[in-house]
Amino acid sequence: MINYLKISSAVDLTGRDRFLYRALEILPAALSWGSLIILALLSWLKSLWVAYFIIFFDVYWLLLVFYLSLHLIAAYQELKKNMKINWADKCRVLPDWQEIWHLVILPVYNEDQSIIRSALEAIKHDGYPLNKFIIILAAEERAGETQITRCRLIAEEYKNIFGFFLLTVHPDGIAGELKGKGANQSWAAREARRQIIDPKQMKYDKILVSVFDIDTIVPGNYFFRLTHAFLTCADPYHTSFQPVPVYNNNLWQAPFFARTSAYSNTFWQMMQQIRQEKLATYSSHSMTWKALVDIDFWATNMVSEDSRIFWHCYCFYNGRYHVEPLYFPVSMDACQDKTFWQTMKNLYKQQRRWGWGVENLPYLIFNAIKRWRQMPKKQLSSRIFVQIYGFHSWATNALIIAVIGWLPLLIGGADFNSTAISGNLPFITRTLMTIAMLGLVLSAVISTLLLPARSEGKRLRDIIVTVGQWIFLPLIIIFFGAIPALEAQLRLALGGKWRLGFWVTPKRR
């Protein structure tokens, strides 16, 4: 019998199920590409219709900017408030907090030793009792013996610092696995259970699992904050816990477009934490060991394993699973490489891989159909709509504003250009978008407030550069947002050799 919760694509199925799943894989591209193509054709055939649509869309965009700005302000206030709280003191008044173990999985590929050590040093100095940590350094056999030797040296250095420290080496070439982080994490977790958790008879319900990208640096008190969230959560064993990714590790070395893209992602994650019903796990996050064992660990054939684990749990528990926002930061690396152009190339690939998270949409809809009777229908319908809307707007909104909005004037012909609306369209669009630019001002202000500390002599320059870089956001969200998202959706629709594999973003500081 097929376990529908473990499938990765239509090729895992047969018959009608395969046809249905394949149609669902085509759906996102059909909606996004179809919307843009239809609007382009109508700009020629029915220019007046598109002109009215563009005015309506610009008004919608303006209202959306202000709506999201309010969420960003609220999230920033929660973040600053939580950073000031002594979470150690708040934990110590809770019963049984000392029984909580933290299993931290750090997947490694070819990252430098300094990056690995910075992640471990941050955990070491977090403040949570070190004897309650299980640290798993999860290396890849395909990275080569030189990298594995480096990891062995680090494991030897840290083995007596934490309660347990385990180096795992994920074998290469396991049948059915995709070369990626999910397979490595799953191998590491199974080894932790085999070598540590089961032999030591640890209680599954007392272990929290955090999976961190290797560039993740936790601030002090992070694990106290996580422990407090777990112990005070209404339904902790059906909950994942999500921090806010702030890309400050190499902020001053990364090019301006990489910084702006990174901050845009931070702000989006902050806004999602306010809109909890829309929140799914992303990048570095935490969940209970009990839930992880229930679903038999991460899928080993996925690119977007960080979000798939949430949807897997959501469907497995028939809708009784959610993400608890921590309103607490973790620091990560902005995209950076040796040269300006290589960084641009890497950033595009990174955004395309994030856009590949659209592979979870057919997974969610397919499993919703299969489990329709057991699932909360109103909540499920809302979840599906949010995902469709999110991926569609990611791929199309910027292009509708920047490109489609001008097509009626360019290809509408003499009949359209003789109408009153043709003369007013540029003025209306320009006015509405100018007002919407106030959202960029807010983004610039908050980004300066999140800046990592620098020497006093450079502080003023840093603020000027940080504020100034936001004027490039309209171009950045097109070339490092909409276009890679459209490519990812098209690749999913085409299937076969066009499907994306896991691409590791190079880490450089």
Taking only the tens place, the pLDDT of each residue in 343-389 is 999 999 999 999 999 999 999 999 999 999 999 999 999 999 999 99
Distance, C-alpha 317 to centroid of its chain: 22
Q: How far apart are CA 64 and CA 50, in angstroms?
A: 20
Tell me, what amino acid is at 40?
A
Q: With bands split at pLDDT 50, 70 and 90, how would you rate the model's confidence at 404? A: very high
Q: Is 451 a residue whose pLDDT tops 80? A: no
Average model confidence (pLDDT) across the chain: 92
Q: With bands split at pLDDT 50, 70 and 90, how would you rate the model's confidence at 275? A: confident
CATH number of 96-340: 3.90.550.10
Structure tokens at 323: 């993400």
Average pLDDT for residues 128-153, to the nearest whole number? 96
Q: How far apart are CA 311 and CA 292, in angstroms?
A: 12
Q: How far apart are CA 217 and CA 214, in angstroms?
A: 8
- What's the length of the chain? 509
Q: 């359209």: which residue's tokens?
A: 416
Average pLDDT for residues 213-240, to the nearest whole number? 97
Domain boundaries, the chain: 96-340
| Residue of higher predicted confidence among 467 and 43 | 43
Which pairs with CB-CB distance under 8 Å and at least 24 residues apart come from 490-494?
A: 490/29, 490/33, 491/356, 492/25, 492/26, 492/28, 492/29, 492/356, 492/358, 492/359, 492/362, 493/25, 493/26, 493/28, 493/29, 493/30
Give the DSSP letter string of 168-220.
EEEPS--TT--SSHHHHHHHHHHHHIIIIITTTT--GGGEEEEE--TT-BPPT
Tell me the whole-structure pTM to 2 decimals.
0.93
The Cβ-side half-sphere exposure at 128, using a 13 Å CA radius, reads: 31
Task: Give all strands (DSSP E) within 171-284, no chain letters.
Answer: 207-211, 239-246
Q: How far apart are CA 150 and CA 148, in angstroms?
A: 5
Structure tokens at 410: 């360019």
Structure tokens at 352: 């395309």
Q: How far apart are CA 219 and CA 234, in angstroms?
A: 25
